[in-house]
Every structure is written in C-alpha cells, then in structure tokens.
Amino acid sequence: HTSNKKITRMSMVVKKKKVCEKLTEVTFKLHTKHNSTNKRDLTRQVRQNRVSSYHLFPNNIKTLSPTYQCPYLRGGNVIEKKMNNGVCKLYQLCRRFHSSLISIHQPFPQNHDFIPPSTLLSNTLQHYINSQTPSHGQKLHSHILKTGFVPNTNISIKLLILYLKSNSLTYARQVFDDLQDRTLSAYNYMIGGYLKKGQVHESLELFHRLLVSGEKPDGFTLSMILKASTSTSGVDVAMVGDLGRIVHAQILKCDVEKDDVLCTALIDSYVKNGRVGYGRTVFDVMSEKNVISSTSLISGYMNKGSFSDAECIFQKTLDKDVVVFNAMIEGYSKTYECAMRSLEVYIDMQRFNFRPNLSTFASIIGACSVLAAFEIGQQVQTQLMKTPFFGDVKLGSALIDMYSKCGRVVEARIVFDHMHEKNVFSWTSMIDGYGKNGFPDEALDLFSKMQIEYCIAPNFVTFLSALSACAHAGLVDKGWEIFQSMENEYKLKPGMEHYACMVDLLGRAGRLNQAWEFVTRMPERPNSDVWAALLSSCRLHENIEMAKLAANELFKLNASGRPGAYVALSNTLADAGKWESVSELREVMKQRGISKDTASSWVGANIAC
C-alpha cells in the first residue's frame, strides 16, 4: 500500500512537470495572441490541474510579494535567486514578465536583494535593446549594481549595446572599462558607437588600445577604422594619413587580404587622403577588381591630374556602368584643357546605352560652362527636359551658371523664372550672372528681393556676387552697406575674397587712399588676392608709388607663383613712361624664371550630343 502511494505520488509529480512544460508553451502563445479569453482558459487549466507554487518551484523556495507575480499565472510567484531552468524558460517566453520584473517608475521597490538568473537577465536586456525605449533598461542595470551582482561578459556586452542604443556614450564607456575580459565584439561595439557620434579621435584611440592588447581585429573592425580615416575633422591629418597604412598592415597580418569589400574600402581611404599610389598597389593585387574600386581610383587620379592613369583604369574596367563614366566625365569637366574630352566620354556613354543620371548632367553642364559652349549646353538642356531630373534645383542652378558664363543672361533668367523651387544657390547663380555680364542693377534688385520677399538668407558666395556687382557699377556706398551687413545682420565673417572685392570697389572708384587704409586695417594679414586687387587699381589710376608698395607685398607672399603681379607692375610703369623701371623689372623676372602665361581662346566647339 505504501509503495502504491509512492508510485501514485511520483506519477502526479511527473504529470505536474508535464503540465508545467505545456503551460510554458501555452503562456507564450496566449501572450502573442493577446486574447483575454485564452488567458482565462490558461487560469482554468492551472486550477483544474492543481498546479501550485510548489509544483512550479519544486525546491519550495521562499517567494516574493505579489508585486512580482506573473499576471498570467495568478498564484505562480516569482522566486528569489534559485529558479530552475524550466521556470526560467516560462518567464522568458512570457514577454509580459519584463513589465512584471521591472516597474518603470519604481523598479524592485521591496527587495533589493533579488537577482534574476543570468539567462533571464540576458533575455530581458535583449528585450530592451530591441524595444523603442532602450533607456528603460538602464533601471535594470541600476538594480544590478545595488545588489552587488557581477555580470558576466555576455551580460556586460548587452549592457554596452543598451547604452550605445540609448546614446549614452559615457555610461557605455564605463561598462566597457569595467569589463574583465574585453572581447573583440566589445571593441567593435564601442568603436562603432564613437564613430556614429562623430568622435573619430576616441575611436582611433580605442583601435590603438585593441592592437596593444594583442587582440586581432577582424574585417568589421578594419572597415570601421578605414571609415574613420576619411573623417579628418578634429584629427591630426598626419596621423590619419598613416592610419591607412596601419590598417593595410593589419589586413595582411589577419589574412583578410582576399576580402574585396575591405580592399575597396582601403583604396577609397588611400584616395581620399591623397595617397593614390598606395591605392593602386592594393588595386593591382585584388583578386577581383570591382567597379567601386575602379571608380575610386579613377577619381583619385583625376583629382591629381593624372588623366592618362585614370584613362588606363577606365579602359581596363570590364563591367562599366554609369558611375564609372560619371567619374571620367566629372574629372575631365573640371579643367579647361580637358573639358572637351568630357563631352566625348558623355557621347560614348550613350553609345553604350547607359542613361545619364543627375550626376552626369551636373558634370556635363559644368563642362559646357568651362568651355562657354552655348550650343552644346542647349542640346544638353533639351535632353534634360525629357528626364525626371529636369526640375532638380541643383541642375537648374547649373544651367543658370552655364548660360551666364556663355553671356546669355536672357536664357539664364528664363531658366530661373521657370524653376518651381529655388534655393540660395539658384539666387546666387542668377545674381552672379547679372553682375558679371554688366547688369549690376538687376543683380542688386535680385539680391534685395531674395531677402525681403522670399526670406532667403544670402551665403558667402551671394555676398561676393553682390559686392562684385557693386564694384562693376561703382556703387561704393551700396557696397559698404552690403559688406557691413555680413557681420551685423547675418553674423558671417568676411573672407579674403570679400576684402579683395571691397579693395577693387574702392580702387575702381578712384579712392586709392581709402583702399590702402582699408587694407592696412584688416583684422588678418592680407593675402595675394587683396594686394593684386590694389595693384590693379593703381595701374588703372597710374599711381606708381602705391603700385610698387602693393607689388612688393605680392612678391613677399609669392615671388614665383604669380607672374600676373610682375606683369601688372610692368604695365603700370609702362603706362607712366617709366621704361627704365620696366626693363629692370623684366630683368628680375628673367633671373627668377618667371614668364607671362600664354593666352588662348576657344572660338567654338564642333561637337554634337
């Protein structure tokens, strides 16, 4: 009889355990459905099967107050410290346990000795990491600290992620520094957090600490550091320049040189830091040369002026796309000597059935501006009108600039008036076009209208265009008013270009003494543009003595790099009949190896788009 009782009792325990396991699954399913009827069914199953806290927690450990009861299992109290794995699973699956475990306003008010098991704690932290309010998880960390519980590496890393997602870099760094075993993933998370906030110096310092620790960085670490090397704000440029080589060495050490994505990032880093040669070395040893790496290298060579090398990479690129063609077109369009070549590449691109995109049109319109190719510009605009990019503000501003440089102010104004959206660049392009083509009144009228009627604040270039218009019109008082409004109204500090424009304005009006006083009272040392403007005005009004002073200052700043200063002084002396001084000056030019630049002009461009 006694043995039968034991067997019956054992079978009941087994049955209760099976019920607990079943309830674990049912609880989770019921919660995800959010059905109140099912919740009542769950409670009924608990009562029918007589599942008590004893069966849920067979060790019969002391329970907490009802505050910590799971809302789906009335009578199933949360235990202290020694939960078994089955119960942990139950509460992990029941997501509402997160809100039961931690009250948002008053977490753990009654028992600060309660320490959730590591598995449950890790799962709870992950819940907050995935939630929209990760900062709420910080209260859980606060409770952990009060209990004196020392989290393991896994929990510490999740706390680190939690603080990073909450934008609390300071606390994240404290968690990182408290780590006994700093794994590579911890370094990666912390470096990524610094980069996300733009704290490049801190990320580089942490990378150096990683290398010193003996931990090997992986491809993810190195790609982040390469990204940091292209963000030079607040970082020593020399250090950033060497950083690419350091990462390159780590790539070789860590045996990840076959990672084409990482090698492409390394090439881009080298190119952006002006080390195209190193980038070419990486490019040559790549197993598969992709379009991105080719484009980066082409852009680097173009910016350096090595057009033949860029052309070589372009010809060897098999899978050409619009981006590769754009790199060639943009590079050629920046120089007067090669702008025609950009038009040829533009035509070749269309022969290969590649449709030009916004960047293509921006570059090719820029080439037309450099060449002052009005007819070609019209053809490009006709093509642009058939694309969805026609209403783009950037392209509209580029067209205005192109027509203005071709001397076609009427066409520029038509484009300006038909723009549905105008920004400060659009207004600046039109103001500059009017000013440079001899329409200062129209330029100043637009300058006033953009501020009063459209409430658009002018930028540095807008002020420069307005001052230039005043200089061409001889409007000294208006120029002074505009110049002073930069700092007084818009809090913009004038640059050297603005000072040079004011000197030109005063000089053209014959106020040379006032111009000289203006230059000598500048808050910063005048550069060559300022002295050149004064020298030009001295020649205009045949003031030889002041011209010599201005020329001497120019020679001190740049003795060989500005032949125009020597030519301007020579012409000033010649206009005044000082031929002996002219001969002496030209002899000095010969001794210093300075010669006048050869002039050239384009009559027209026989090319069709």
Q: Write the CATH number for 545.
A: 1.25.40
Q: Which residues pair with 540 in a beta bridge?
A: none
Angle in degrees, 0-180, between the axes of helices 322-333 and 291-304, rounded to the nearest 10: 0
Name the nearest CA neighbour of 136 among 111, 109, 162: 162
| pLDDT for residue 155 | 83
Count of residues making up the chain: 609
Report which secondary-structure segment, H or E, holds 191: helix 184-196
Do 250 and 268 form a contact (C-beta atoms < 8 A)?
A: no
Give residue 485's Cα distance to chain centre. Answer: 31
3-state secondary structure 345-412: HHHHHHHCCCCCCHHHHHHHHHHHHHHCCHHHHHHHHHHHHCCCCCCCHHHHHHHHHHHHHCCCHHHH
Mean pLDDT by 10 residues, the chain (609 residues): 56 54 46 46 52 38 36 40 41 43 41 58 78 74 73 84 87 88 90 89 88 85 81 53 74 71 86 88 86 93 93 92 95 92 95 94 96 94 94 95 96 95 96 94 96 95 96 92 95 95 94 94 90 85 83 70 61 60 62 56 50
Q: Report d(CA 270, CA 273) in Å as an integer.
A: 5
The reply to whether 171 falls in a domain is no
Give burial (CB, 10 Å; 0-12/13-18/19+) of 47.
Answer: exposed
- Structural domain total, the chain: 1
3-state helix, strand, coil in the chain (%, to 5): 70, 0, 30
Residue 520 tokens read as 């000598």
pLDDT at 67: 34
Alpha carbon of 555 to those of 500, 566, 580, 593: distances in Å? 17, 8, 20, 14
Decide: 392 and 398 in contact? Cβ < 8 Å. Answer: no
Backbone angles phi, psi at 511, to 5 degrees: -95, 65
Closest listed residue to residue 144, CA positions, set 171, 180, 175, 113 = 113
Q: Distance (Å, rounded) from C-alpha 500 to C-alpha 328?
A: 35
The 8-class DSSP code of residue 578 comes to -
In the beta sheet, which residues pair with residue 79? 63
CA 311 – CA 350 distance, rounded (Å): 18
One-letter amino acid identity for 104? I
In this structure, is residue 538 part of a structural domain?
yes
SS3 label, residue 63: strand
Residue 592 lies in a domain: yes
Instruction: Specify if 524 maps to a domain.
Output: yes
Structural domain includes residue 560: yes
Write out pLDDT tens, residues 569-579.
666 666 655 55
Q: Is 461 within a domain?
A: no
Instruction: Tell the residue number behind the tokens 């000033």, with chain if given.
Output: 572
Within 10 angstroms of residue 578's Cβ, the number of other Cβ atoms is 15
Cβ–Cβ under 8 Å, residues 133 and 102: no
Which sign does the torsion angle of CA 266, 268, 274, 280 carry?
Answer: positive
Q: Give the C-alpha distances (Å, rounded to integers) separating 121 from 84, 132, 171.
A: 14, 19, 19
Domain-embedded: residue 226? no
Q: How many whole angstroms separate alpha carbon 363 and alpha carbon 244?
A: 30
Tell me what pLDDT residue 369 has.
Answer: 95
What pLDDT score does 225 carry? 85
The answer to whether 533 touches 507, Cβ cutoff 8 Å, is yes
DSSP class of residue 470 equals H
pLDDT, one tens digit per residue, over 70-117 is 444 444 443 333 344 444 444 444 444 444 444 333 444 444 445 556
Q: Is 549 within the bounds of a domain?
A: yes
Counting other chains too, the contacts that 565-568 makes at CB distance below 8 Å and 24 or more residues apart are 565/528, 565/531, 565/532, 565/535, 566/594, 567/596, 568/532, 568/535, 568/536, 568/539
Amino acid (one-letter) located at 473: A
Q: What are phi and psi of 112, to 5 degrees?
A: -80, 0
What does the radius of gyration of the chain's CA atoms come to, in whole angstroms?
Answer: 37
Backbone angles phi, psi at 577, to 5 degrees: 80, 15
Range of the domain at 566: 504-596
Cα–Cα nearest to 325, from 303, 309, 310: 310
Residue 258: Cβ within 10 Å count: 12
- For residue 79, the SS3 value is strand
- C-alpha angle with apex 523: 521 to 527, nearest 5 degrees? 90
Q: How many CB atoms lie within 10 A of CB 526?
A: 22
Contact 406/372 with Cβ under 8 angstroms?
A: yes
